[in-house]
Amino acid sequence: MERRKFLMRAGLAGLAFGMPPVSLWSQDPEFTLEQLTGRSDPELLGEGINLLKEAHDAFLEMKRAAYQDGIDIKVVSSYRSYERQRAIFEGKYMAFTEEGLEPLDAIDRIVEYSTIPGTSRHHWGTDADLIDASKPSSGDVLVPEKFEEGGPFWDFKKWMDAHSEDYGFYLVYTDNPRRRGFNYEPWHYSYAPLSVPMLAAFRKMNILRILERDDFLGSEHLTTGFIRSYVADNILDINPDLL
């Protein structure tokens, strides 16, 4: 309750980042609040793919082309519901705070790679974490070193750098040293023809209001200043081709 009072005193009702003040419900009519925050039940296609139809079809076309060059593109993770993202966030929050980190420090650690629930691009059915299934790899496959020269997914990365955009898939969190927010993720690709308008619709919403009404572990520590920085750095400081 104290957090809610603080946010309201901070002018929560009139704040939407990078846009004129809008209602919580102001949005592109093509996309609903529930869809953009992972609370809907979208029609997803493909066993182990789980993307919206247009993204799914483009992915299969890209997968077939890569296979001809000896690359077997596999989806490690794609669509995530709000509840799934919440479980990821809360699990990390508990682990970091149990290690002794203060709540905001724990959240800072979480958002190096993981999103606050309700704000993930994985909610949209347009984004996927990809690897090369033809290359054996032990342990966590989603680590940048495995996509570097000498790593098991180096050939995959070179192929994607050369061809993925031909099929509409763009790397989201690039290795540009001036980029802020989430760490470099050479595995995270987004189907731009759908995700660009979805991000535009998401930006029209009052993100502070959306987060203020949520109640997940650690949410009481999300100050106005933190959320401002999170939106600017983690949601918007991405590959400019996806804006």
Q: Where do the domains of the chain lie, and which CATH numbers do they carry?
A: 2-242 (3.30.1380.10)
pLDDT at 212: 82
**Cα 232 to the center of its chain, rounded Å:** 14
What average pLDDT values come out for the chain (243 residues) when binned by 10 residues?
32 36 45 96 97 98 98 98 98 98 97 97 98 95 98 98 98 97 98 97 90 91 92 97 98
Prediction pTM value: 0.88
Nearest-5° angle of CA 194, CA 125, CA 111? 105
Q: What is the pLDDT of residue 172?
A: 98
- 136 phi, psi to nearest 5 deg: -65, 140
- Per-residue pLDDT, 4: 32
pLDDT at 29: 58
> Cβ–Cβ contacts within 10 Å for residue 28, how many?
15
pLDDT of residue 221: 93
